[in-house]
Structure 1
Amino acid sequence: MRRLLTGLVASAVLALSVPVSAQEFPNKPVRIIVPFLPGAGNDILGRLTAEHLSPRLGQPVTVENRAGAGSQIGVDYVAKSPPDGYTLLWAASDGVSVLPAVKDNMPYKVPEDFTFVSRIVELPFALVVSAKLPIKSVADLLAYAKANPGKLRYGTSGVGGVPHMGTVLMEKRAGIKLSHIPYRGVAAVVNDLLGGHVDIGFVTPPTIKPHAASTDKIRIIATTGTKRHALFPDVPTLVEAGIPDAVITAWYGLLAPAKLPAPVLDRLTKDLRATLADPLVQQRLDQLGYTLSPLEGAPFRDFVVNDLKTWTALAKSENIKVEE
């Protein structure tokens, strides 16, 4: 009897040690902060996740866009939010594993300030070339760039983003020199590629596919993943085309503030896993050109830490810094 009472008391103490909010989670709407403008690929994926996660959580899941400073504003907002599961981050490489590699005095620390729920998507880029150039393959690109060092202009969505850092990585691996033209967003890069005002650029396959299918003003000469992309099955990867170790990907996933209670994390992880297993979600992602790449908890955290280390080493070796 005494052992039974001791066990009951211990169980009661453990129950009381878990915050009431964790025991009841969720009992009100959940927000996913997307640190990018509405309409972009990140926003579309964040809203798709919110739409299908909501019925599983049994509460509305809304999307709130908090863009700015290379996604730093939205990421920092979540890092400083209460760790109760009601404010989540639609995270991307840009603000979590790239920006901290190229910018001093960041207002948040990776990985310390976050709980890692799950990676959702990892995707490569398409290497897009203006059709005004006599470049129809990676071999043509390397020959042209080596014969004309610094002449080819590559456009990116800004200094220190994945397309910028990825192009620098390609330059190092291929032994070429290009000229960087930073823009304020990927839409401007695509417009100037179509207009021939910039020569090459890394653009995600879902973003560039509609343009590649409807115009002859650009060419897709490679993709940057470990294997060919479903939207461009006849296009080789950079590694296939002869540039060693030139794998460049971006990732998207769901984070929460640090110190999220275990019961809340378990619920979010379970329901997100079920969401990603939904055939309707998988079908929609396939239609958009995204491939699921789930990675939960500690392995996701380790993946991000290693990603940050890679970009930090590259930024240091190439002296790449984003000024305040």
Structure 2
Amino acid sequence: MLTRRQSLALLAAGCAMPLAPAVAQPAFPDQPVKMIVPFAAGGPADIIARIIGQVMSTKLGQPVVVDSRSGAGGMVGVEAAARSRPDGLTTVLASTGALVVLPQLMPRMAYDVQKDLAPITHVLSVPQILVVSKKKGVKSVAELVALAKKQPGQLTYGSAGNGSSLHLAGELFKLKTGIDIVHVPYRGAAPAVTDLLSGTIDMILADVPVVLPHIRGGELLALGVTAKERAAILPDVPTMAEAGAPDVISETWYAMFAPSGTPADRIRILHDAAVAALRDNDVRRSLADQGGTIAGGTPEQLGAFVQAERTKWGELIRLANVKLD
């Protein structure tokens, strides 16, 4: 038992110690977090969501459940997120088309990106790569441009559909090189690649993962990548600038949002969990297989990035007179 003198000494020592300020921990619901993916299961967005969702689950202490809501070029899923309760339990991993391209092509939209969505973080950017069939006989961007100028209006390029990022990449290539090539829209990138392999179309600017097996298999020839730097997954393929077509910069990017009105402390928690996932070595290796560049960054940086992309592609849409029909 402590003597009276010992008790007084301990009390005095305790009073002499500075009290640590109480830190309020932001409350987060003890419920699963839904990550809406506005594309079909098994596609690039779905794969990316599942890769980062596993680590986010650990950081949040809650399961992250991927919810596929495909349709209308991603607009169905984005609308579902925008209309969800802003409690931090719903996010969406959306991409270029539904966030900056389609809103400028549709006469009426069911959501307003700036008003209805709250940025969390930029996740990944995947460049396109210009590929041709080896049967075409061209071995460089310069040779392809020369052939197109020699045969104006005769060469064709495929895309995943009117208004898709692949369509706009092709229009950007036309604009920056001054060539006249004909757009052939498909319902997705896969059938366009099939027709390229058969020789029905002459070229495609496709996201790297879509054509990578055919490049490695020797069926398609990669001429240039539409990024500022070479793709780590294809280090021998020059950038479009290196290949003689400067300013042909085009990427399909993926970013995470929550419904507008989600409390700032919950946005911060979601952001921190997502960025922690993007720093995880296993996640980084898995995302590298998608051929992209890991981003990250603050919600404010994502907001500024989306606005810059809206300006860039809006100008191209007007110059090239891109229409959905």
The residue correspondences of 1:77-116 to structure 2 (distance < 5 A) are 77-116=80-119
> Aligned AA for 2:264?
A
Give unpaired runs (5+ residues) of structure 1.
Answer: 1-14, 16-21
**Structure 1 residues 239 and 296, CA gap change in structure 2 (3 angstroms):** same
Q: Which residue of 1 aligns with 2:62?
A: 59
Residues 130 and 198 in structure 1, CA contact (< 8 A), matched pair in contact too: no
Residues 169 and 246 in structure 1, CA contact (< 8 A), matched pair in contact too: yes
Residues 209 and 291 in structure 2, CA contact (< 8 A), matched pair in contact too: yes
Within 1, Cα distance between the matches of 2:308 and 2:253? 13
Residues 78 and 89 in structure 1, CA contact (< 8 A), matched pair in contact too: yes
Within 2, Cα distance between the matches of 1:196 and 1:295? 42
> Aligned AA for 1:277?
R
> Aligned AA for 2:247?
D
Q: Percent identical across equivalent pairs?
A: 37
The residue correspondences of 1:21-170 to structure 2 (distance < 5 A) are 23-170=26-173
Q: Which residue of 2 aligns with 1:254?
A: 256
Determine helix, strand or coil for the equivalent of 2:276.
helix
Residues 41 and 207 in structure 1, CA contact (< 8 A), matched pair in contact too: no
Within 2, Cα distance between the matches of 1:295 and 1:275? 12
Determine helix, strand or coil for the equivalent of 2:113.
coil
* Residues 215-247 of structure 1: CA deviation (Å, up to 9, x unaligned): x33110110000111122111111111222111
Q: Which residue of 2 aligns with 1:236?
A: 238
Q: Which residue of 2 aligns with 1:180?
A: 183
Within 2, Cα distance between the matches of 1:134 and 1:274? 46
> Aligned AA for 1:145?
A
Residues 32 and 64 in structure 1, CA contact (< 8 A), matched pair in contact too: yes
Determine helix, strand or coil for the equivalent of 1:154.
strand
Q: Which has the larger radius of gyration?
A: 2
Runs of 4+ in structure 1 deviating by more than 2 angstroms, as ranges, are 286-291
Q: Which residue of 2 aligns with 1:264?
A: 266
RMSD: 1.5
Q: TM-score, normalised by structure 2?
A: 0.89
Residues 73 and 97 in structure 2, CA contact (< 8 A), matched pair in contact too: yes
Within 2, Cα distance between the matches of 1:317 and 1:283? 39
Say yes or no: does 1:306 pair with 2:308: yes
Give unpaired runs (5+ residues) of structure 2.
Answer: 1-23
* Residues 64-101 of structure 1: CA deviation (Å, up to 9, x unaligned): 11111111111111111111111110111111011112
Within 2, Cα distance between the matches of 1:287 and 1:249? 16
Determine helix, strand or coil for the equivalent of 2:111.
coil
Select between 188-197 and 33-42 the one with higher mean Cα deviation.
Answer: 188-197
* Residues 19-71 of structure 1: CA deviation (Å, up to 9, x unaligned): xxx95313111111100111111111011111221111111111111111111
> Aligned AA for 1:167?
G
Q: TM-score, normalised by structure 1?
A: 0.90
The count of aligned residue pairs is 302
Determine helix, strand or coil for the equivalent of 2:114.
coil
Residues 86 and 259 in structure 2, CA contact (< 8 A), matched pair in contact too: yes
Residues 26 and 57 in structure 1, CA contact (< 8 A), matched pair in contact too: no
